[in-house]
Amino acid sequence: MKIIYVICLFLIGCASQEAPHQCTKENYDSIGCQSSRLNANSTTFLSSILFYKINQIQISNENSLNEVIKFQKLYNAEIHILASSIDENKNTQNKRLEKITGFLAKNNLPKSKLKVKIKNHIIYRNGKKNKKLSRRVEIYIKY
């Protein structure tokens, strides 16, 4: 029961940090809401995992990364980082990844518990390339 309580608290914490605004029925399909909500049907390279996603805007948010580290230590979990890479922005994406992995390494996250995957992933919306969603970096926790 204690574990379920901790997971619920963790998910509530993630949800409160995840969305800078409320996703309502009216704006559910808006780009801002879509990029901030968790999407179990997204291109996932893991199965049976607890999702914890950090959007590009929140990567510099050390509180979010500290939560990842606490959870990893508590459950001895693997941290998987999935970074979408679009050709014209590989340098930007690499900087984001370096920032995340550097922070996690600085906070004693074992290298064996950190997996990084970069994939080409371009999202189109109404026939136009959606740079905001295509540049996302997602962190998944597998335990």
118-139 average pLDDT score: 65
22 pLDDT more than 60:
no
Contact status, residue 46 vs residue 87, Cβ threshold 8 Å: no
Domains in the chain (CATH in brackets) are 38-142 (3.30.1330.60)
Name the range with the highest mean pLDDT among 2-16, 18-32, 62-76, 104-118: 104-118
Q: Please state, as a whole number, how many other Cβ atoms lie within 10 Å of the Cβ of residue 105.
A: 12
Say which residue the tokens 């980082």 belong to: 81
Distances (CA, A) of 67 to 18, 44, 73, 88: 12, 21, 10, 31
pLDDT for the residue numbered 84: 61
pLDDT for the residue numbered 37: 38
pLDDT for the residue numbered 123: 64
74 pLDDT more than 70:
yes
Torsion sign over Cα 21, 24, 27, 32: positive
pLDDT for the residue numbered 5: 40
**More confident of the two residues 103 and 10:** 103
**More confident of the two residues 38 and 97:** 97
pLDDT for the residue numbered 107: 78
3-state helix, strand, coil in the chain (%, to 5): 45, 20, 35
The pTM (predicted TM-score) of the whole model is 0.44
